[in-house]
Amino acid sequence: MPSENDRIVGGVLKQLRLRSGMTQIEFAKKAGMGQSFVSKIENGVRALKLSEIFSYAASLGLDPHDVLDEIAEAVKNA
């Protein structure tokens, strides 16, 4: 069962993807993931390992530390 933190992480990753101007399908292709997998991540159904967050960040062209900072801030403010 997804935790509240999984939902927060997914929401942050969705916002970052939207800021990058990519659809789920575009991002999934770039990241080498299925669109349904991306959907599960963004909806907090599937938790990510730390290494997967780094790959997610790279596919968005972002520094993983910046992504982790945004996640930490969102969790703190929840």
CATH number of the domain residue 29 falls in: 1.10.260.40
* Structural domains counted in the chain: 1
Residue in the structure block whose two tokens are 């599960």: 40
Tokens of 8: 């927060």
Asked if residue 69 has pLDDT above 80, the reply is yes
What's the pTM value of the predicted model, to 2 decimals?
Answer: 0.91
Q: Which domain holds residue 58?
A: 4-77
Return d(Cα 43, Cα 14) in angstroms, integer.
8
Percent of the chain with pLDDT over 90: 96
| Structure confidence at residue 24 (pLDDT) | 97
Token pair of 77 as six digits: 């403010």
**DSSP 3-state assignment of 59?**
helix
Predicted confidence at residue 1, as pLDDT, reads 72
